[in-house]
Amino acid sequence: MITTSNLSKKYSGNLVLDIESLEIPKGQSFGLVGNNGAGKTTYFSLLLDLIQPTTGYIKNNDVQVNKSEDWKPFTSAFIDESFLIGYLTPEEYFYFIGELRGQNKADVDALVSQFEDFFHGEIIGQKKYLRDLSKGNQKKAGIVAALIGNPEVIVLDEPFANLDPTTQIRLKNIIKELSEKQDVTVLISSHDLMHVTDVCERIVVLEKGEVVKDLAKSAATLQELEEHFAN
């Protein structure tokens, strides 16, 4: 589904990302871990064509993302709060995203109603603008908005940060279900090794912009990761 080839990104001579080749098959739940500055967000930004690669390219379903925009209909993402429109209510925001992705109000309502317990009654019908919600609730709204319109690729940058424990567990179930039942390719990054190993079938460790580990999940994965980061 996602092919990365000879990809590198330099900022004023500093190499921040350098991936020779990375192949993510369709329906895989893919986890990206690494310390601050390892290049996780840079990789996602390149995937979403928000920044330009210095060399190489990413192909999303055979569409080269910085050449054509045809990857947009089947790709969705929530990177940070700047993906939210502060002066809309969560409902309005969902409808807006829905309209951009060709969904009518009923479709959006049907989808959002599945996430009632994920929202914990704090998002829908609150008569509040997104900018007035707490960080955690903003995140919930952003994540659910990324699920609107049956995307085939979902990119979530640190989805577990800022969420309360209950919501973290619910989010894990949502992500698992997406990749298992609906064959959606989910890419997440996280600092929480436990969550990532729990959710993802495959985990890639970035260090200073390079892939240093590429693990298919097994019983030993968590321990291996912990050892890696302890050193």
Partner 1 sequence: MIKRFLSLEWKAFFRSASFGKSLGIKIFMGFLSLYFIAMFLGMGLLLFPGLKKVYPDQDPLLIVNSFLFYWILADLALRFFFQKLPVMSVKPLLTLPVKRGYVVNYVLGKSALSFFNFLPLFAIIPFGITLLFKNYPVSNVLVWMLALVLVVLIINFLNFIIESFSAEKELSFLPVILIVGGLYALNHFNIIAFNEIMGSGFNTIYNYPFLIIVPLGILVMCYVFNFKLLRQKLFLDSGLKAKIKEVNASNLEWTKNFGDIAPFMQLDLKLIWRNKRTKSSVWMLAIGLLYGLFFYPQPTYQNMPWFFVFIGVFSTGIFLINFGQFIPAWDSGYYKLLMSQNIKYEQYLKSKFTLMAVSVLILFVLGIPYVFFGWKILLAHFAAAIYNIGVNTHVILLGGSFNRKKIDLSQKAAFNYQGTGAVQWLIGIPLLLLPMGLFAAFYFLISFEIACLVLIIFGVIGIVFHQKLMKIITQKYLESKYKMIDAFDQNN
Residue 11 in contact with partner 1, rule: CB under 8 A = no
Nearest residue to 74 (alpha-carbon basis) of 142, 186, 149: 149
Shortest distance (Å) from residue 80 CB to partner 1: 8
Cβ neighbors of 37 (< 8 A, separation 6 or more) are 16, 208
Q: Please choose, out of 30-38, 98-106, 115-123, 195-203, the segment that lies near partner 1 by the rule CB under 8 A.
A: 98-106
Measured distance CA(160)–CA(163) in Å, rounded: 6
At 33, which amino acid appears? V
Kindly identify the residues of this chain, within the stretch 109-128, that bind partner 1 according to CB under 8 A.
Answer: 127-128
Residue 59 in contact with partner 1, rule: CB under 8 A = no
Cβ neighbors of 96 (< 8 A, separation 6 or more) are 85, 88
Among 23, 25, 62, 87, binds partner 1 (CB under 8 A): 87
Q: Do residues 138 and 81 lie in contact, with contact meaning Cβ atoms separated by under 8 Å?
A: yes
Among 27, 59, 129, 222, binds partner 1 (CB under 8 A): 129
Residue 91: its H or E element: helix 90-100
Give the nearer residue to partner 1 in terms of CB position, either 109 or 192.
109
Give the nearer residue to partner 1 in terms of CB position, either 95 or 118.
95
Site residues, partner 1 (CB under 8 A)? 48-52, 72-73, 75-77, 79, 82-89, 92, 96-97, 99-102, 127-129, 131-132, 149
